[in-house]
Amino acid sequence: MTLLSTRGLSRQFAGLHAVQDVDFDLPAGQIRALIGPNGAGKTTFVSMLCGRIAPSAGEVIFDGQNVTGLPAHKRISLGMAYTFQVTSIFANLDVAENVALAARRHLRGAARVRGAVDRALEQVGLADRRDQPAGDLAYGHQRLLEIAMGLVQAPRLLILDEPTQGLSEGEIEDFVDLIKGLSGETTILLIEHNMRVVMASADHVSVLNFGEILAEGTPDEIRANPQVQAAYLGSPDA
């Protein structure tokens, strides 16, 4: 079953085609990585998926429903979750409250929210920091908090925009384990620069270049694709 698809999705900024005519299909349960050189239009593309940016043309279909005209908060309540590329948390609120805000959208009752918050913090390893102000966390921990805020929503589609940026080696390994653990229950769209993460966690990879889909396939197929190598200036594991 296809959870998310786009048809002819395009976006121009002042005449420049940031994303052009993208047809994209994401089956339910899959972990999909979206890669591409800087400026390829990855963030613009996912921003259109979750409604932060309106497309110039084309449509977004989520779970059989055309959501192109829906505002962001309605798409989120249909089961999308989005974590920001640049860390975006409630710095003055404590860690648990950050996650609780994400949980309350679909959970009622203080006890259930608390349970979900504890589980999500446990999953990313921030359980012992639940009462700290989020702004006091180290950068890597703030990234993990973002991920916890995504997880706690129990989304049907989790969009992670460069989640491992700024994480240490050890944290990256934990992150890969975390993602793999979600395999099967949640559909994940992962924008990622770190090829090791992509190779280790993704079922399937889409490559975006100059706003168009350049190639799609399994991680191994993509690694072997000469066009992709050319797009990355000949360095397959950049």
* 111 makes contact with other proteins (CB under 8 A): no
Sign of the CA dihedral running 98, 104, 109, 113? negative
- Give the range of 21-29, 59-67, 101-109, 223-231 binding other proteins by CB under 8 A: 101-109
Among candidates 44, 59, 73, 83, which has minimal Cα distance to 4? 59
Beta strands, E only, the chain: 2-13, 16-27, 31-35, 57-62, 65-66, 80-83, 157-161, 187-191, 204-209, 212-217
CB of 103 to other proteins, least distance (A): 9
**DSSP tally for the chain: helices H, then strands E:** 9, 10
* 92 makes contact with other proteins (CB under 8 A): yes
Size of the site for other proteins (CB under 8 A): 25
Residues within window 46-75 making contact with other proteins, judged by CB under 8 A: 50, 52, 71-73
* 93 makes contact with other proteins (CB under 8 A): yes
* 76 makes contact with other proteins (CB under 8 A): yes
CB of 170 to other proteins, least distance (A): 27
CB of 212 to other proteins, least distance (A): 25
Pairing of strands 157-161, 80-83: parallel
Joined tokens for residue 147: 């991920």
* 100 makes contact with other proteins (CB under 8 A): yes
Residues that bind other proteins (CB under 8 A): 14, 50, 52, 71-73, 76-77, 82, 84, 88-93, 97, 100-102, 104-106, 149, 153
